[in-house]
Amino acid sequence: MFQEILPQLSALKIWQLVALLPAAWIAMEVLQGVILGFYNVFFHPLRHFRGNSWEIGIPLLWHRHVLRGTASHISMERHDKYGDVVRIGPNLLSYSSAQAWRDIYGASNDLPKMVFGDLGINPDSVFLAPKGEHGRQRRVMAPAFTEKSIAKQEQLIRVYIDLLVQRLRETDGLPTNAVRWFNLTTFDLIGDLTFGQSLQGLENNASNLWLDNLNKQMQFIPIIILTKMSTTVSLMIRLILGPTIKAVHAKQSANIKRMVHERLTKDDRGDFMDYMIGKLPEKELIGNADIFMIAGSHTSSVLLSGLAYWLCVTPDAYKKVTTEIREAFSDGNQITFEACTKLPYLQAVINEGLRIFPPVPIALNRQTVAPTMICGQMIPAGTYLGVNHLVVTHSEENFHKANEFIPERWLEKDDPESPFYNDKRDASQPFSTGPRNCIGQALAGYQIRLICSKVLWNFDMELEPECSDWKEQRIFASWTLPPLMIKFVDRFRGEKA
């Protein structure tokens, strides 16, 4: 057979042989893919974990969901079918139990986060710092996020919330995009706490390039994560999107660097930077300022938008929370950090919003560096694994009527007669858990309570019919947040409140 083929090959011209190379390369790639897919399904160390065999054998099928922004939704379907541990890729496990939070993110294992390359994730921040560096940076920052330190910022925070109320009043009860207003508010607020200056979004009633780039960056993060999951996908992304991702990040980094330098010329003012200046090198000041803007502003605006939507479509909860707030305060100036902590139904509403509309509705994956016991099963080294916030909080295994907005589940936890008595509330960890949980969760709590109280005390909210299905969104690193058109009807008809 070969004796017959060789004379034919020798008769081919050089250019004809060269022309055959792409076809040969493609054939080799296909063959390699088939062999690897067969191995992944039948011989891989994770072969005993259930999942969609096609997506395990052909990872590009799962990557397609990530790129489309449907991965979290598909993950919910996979967990409904296969249980609380699902193999969603050759080397990736997804969990949906409260125990998984403790085992994966808790201090006992302290599994490292993925290490990112040069596609736009700042490695000099507390968010991505390795174990020793993380602890050092966090110890420097911790005093800035104590309740005592946060209380000192109340007057500054109230300035922006009062300006939000003013801007909503100026809409004169006409439909307006609530997402935009919450974005401007939290961006201005965190920007001032970080850089010591207003970013003037509310003041000028306008977005800016930085805020727009931040929203783009949120869509790029899952794409960047894919570069760690597949060599082929990594190459494709770097060739196709690498320059764009780097350009977006470069603009943002330059802006942050400029503002950090400006902040260094100012006196102490009790903000975030005061606690870090002189204790962290410049590159870490810049890296953490970047993270503060993303984690502090974007996540809060996502939650506020979700709360506004779910209250509008849940009349019973809306009536209860507005009644509680309006009966508690006879004057808008009475609405303070401390006073808002005494509103139990409002806190239940916020807890439920964090559950049903988590600001980070994806899994922040970790990696085992040695064989590790997770939920009673030994997981081999080198495995990626995580808990998807959206999946775990929408599981009927964890929450009764998981897809409904019911704040009462957080108030009746000790009542054996309650239908929510068996809810696994520790399955909802919107700020994560363990040594790398969100350092700013106390600030977020005070901020969200105050904004909700101010807005609901001053306005009645009416959702426009066109936004009735607003919750049906694509998800990348966060929700895509299409316009949320709401009428904010002034209760005081122009009176000062």
CA–CA dist 131, 441 (Å, integer) = 21
| Residue pLDDT, tens place only, 379-404 | 999 999 999 999 999 999 999 999 99
Lowest-pLDDT choice from 4-8, 26-30, 60-64: 4-8
Quick one: pLDDT band at residue 10, thresholds 50, 70, 90? Answer: low
Residue 290: its pLDDT value, please?
Answer: 85
Residue 233: its pLDDT value, please?
Answer: 65
- Cβ atoms < 10 Å from Cβ of 253: 17
Residue 384: its pLDDT value, please?
Answer: 94
Handedness of CA 342, 346, 348, 354 (dihedral sign): negative
Q: What is the mean pLDDT of residues 269-289?
A: 88
- Cβ atoms < 10 Å from Cβ of 392: 30
* Joined tokens for residue 133: 């560096």
pLDDT at residue 56 tops 90: yes
pLDDT at residue 266 tops 90: no
| Block residue for tokens 């606690």 | 275
Residue 36: its pLDDT value, please?
Answer: 85
> Does 209 or 435 have the greater pLDDT score?
435
| Residue pLDDT, tens place only, 71-92 | 999 999 999 999 999 999 999 9
Residue 2: its pLDDT value, please?
Answer: 43
pLDDT at residue 495 tops 70: no
Residue 232: its pLDDT value, please?
Answer: 66
CA–CA dist 49, 92 (Å, integer) = 10
Could you say which of 3.40.50.1100, 1.10.630.10, 1.10.10.60, 2.40.160.150 is the CATH number of the domain covering 91-490? 1.10.630.10
Cα 55 to the center of its chain, rounded Å: 24
For residue 298, give every residue at least 6 positions away whose Cβ sits within 8 Å of its Cβ, in sequence order, or none. 183, 186, 214, 215, 218, 359, 478
Give CB contacts under 8 A, 24+ apart, made by 464-473: 464/175, 467/309, 468/313, 470/309, 471/306, 471/309, 471/310, 471/357
- Cβ atoms < 10 Å from Cβ of 58: 19
* Joined tokens for residue 490: 């002034």
pLDDT at residue 372 tops 90: yes
For residue 294, give every residue at least 6 positions away whose Cβ sits within 8 Å of its Cβ, in sequence order, or none. 214, 217, 218
> Which residues, listed in sequence order, are joined to residue 367 by a DSSP beta bridge?
384
Kindly report the backbone phi and psi dihedral angles of residue 387, in degrees, each rounded to the nearest multiple of 5, phi listed first. -110, 120
Select from 311, 323, 319, 316 the least CA-distant residue to 350.
311
Kindly report the backbone phi and psi dihedral angles of residue 379, in degrees, each rounded to the nearest multiple of 5, phi listed first. -105, 130
Amino acid at 44: H
pLDDT at residue 411 tops 70: yes
- Cβ atoms < 10 Å from Cβ of 51: 23
> Does 291 or 340 have the greater pLDDT score?
340
Question: Which of 10-19, 127-136, 334-343, 409-418 has the highest average model confidence (pLDDT)?
Answer: 334-343
> Does 2 or 275 have the greater pLDDT score?
275
* DSSP per position, 78-97: HHHHH-SEEEEETTEEEE-S
Select from 367, 288, 362, 295 the least CA-distant residue to 110.
367
- H/E/C letters for each residue in 220-269? HHHHHHHHHHCHHHHHHHHHHCHHHHHHHHHHHHHHHHHHHHHHHCCCCC
CA–CA dist 489, 176 (Å, integer) = 11
β-pairing verdict for 384-387 and 92-95: parallel
* DSSP per position, 6-74: HHHHHHS-HHHHHHHHHHHHHHHHHHHHHHHHHHHHHTSTTTTS---HHHHH-THHHHHHHHHT-HHHH
Q: What is the mean pLDDT of residues 401-411?
A: 97
Give strand ranges (E) for 84-229.
85-89, 92-95, 175-177
Amino acid at 440: G
| Residue pLDDT, tens place only, 207-256 | 877 777 777 777 777 776 766 666 666 677 677 766 776 777 777 778 88
For residue 186, give every residue at least 6 positions away whose Cβ sits within 8 Å of its Cβ, in sequence order, or none. 296, 297, 298, 300, 301, 304, 447
Q: What is the mean pLDDT of residues 256-279?
A: 86
Annotated domain spans of the chain: 91-490
Which one-letter DSSP state was computed for residue 331? S
For residue 94, give every residue at least 6 positions away whose Cβ sits within 8 Å of its Cβ, in sequence order, or none. 75, 78, 79, 85, 86, 87, 88, 363, 385, 386, 387, 388, 391
Select from 211, 188, 210 the least CA-distant residue to 200.
188
> Does 284 or 403 have the greater pLDDT score?
403
Residue 221: its pLDDT value, please?
Answer: 73
Residue 230: its pLDDT value, please?
Answer: 63
Q: Across the chain, what does the average pLDDT equal?
A: 88
pLDDT at residue 144 tops 70: yes
> Does 236 or 355 have the greater pLDDT score?
355
Residue 120: its pLDDT value, please?
Answer: 53
Kindly report the backbone phi and psi dihedral angles of residue 127, in degrees, each rounded to the nearest multiple of 5, phi listed first. -65, -40
Residue 251: its pLDDT value, please?
Answer: 76
Residue 18: its pLDDT value, please?
Answer: 59
| Block residue for tokens 């961006």 | 187
Q: What is the mean pLDDT of residues 337-361?
A: 98
Q: What is the mean pLDDT of residues 478-493?
A: 95
Residue 497: its pLDDT value, please?
Answer: 46
| Residue pLDDT, tens place only, 299-341 | 999 999 999 999 999 999 999 999 999 999 999 999 999 999 9
| Residue pLDDT, tens place only, 103-127 | 999 988 878 886 554 445 566 788 8
Residue 6: its pLDDT value, please?
Answer: 45
CA–CA dist 160, 181 (Å, integer) = 11
Query: Is 312 one of the annotated binding-site residues?
Result: no
pLDDT at residue 358 tops 70: yes
Residue 50: its pLDDT value, please?
Answer: 97
Residue 9: its pLDDT value, please?
Answer: 46
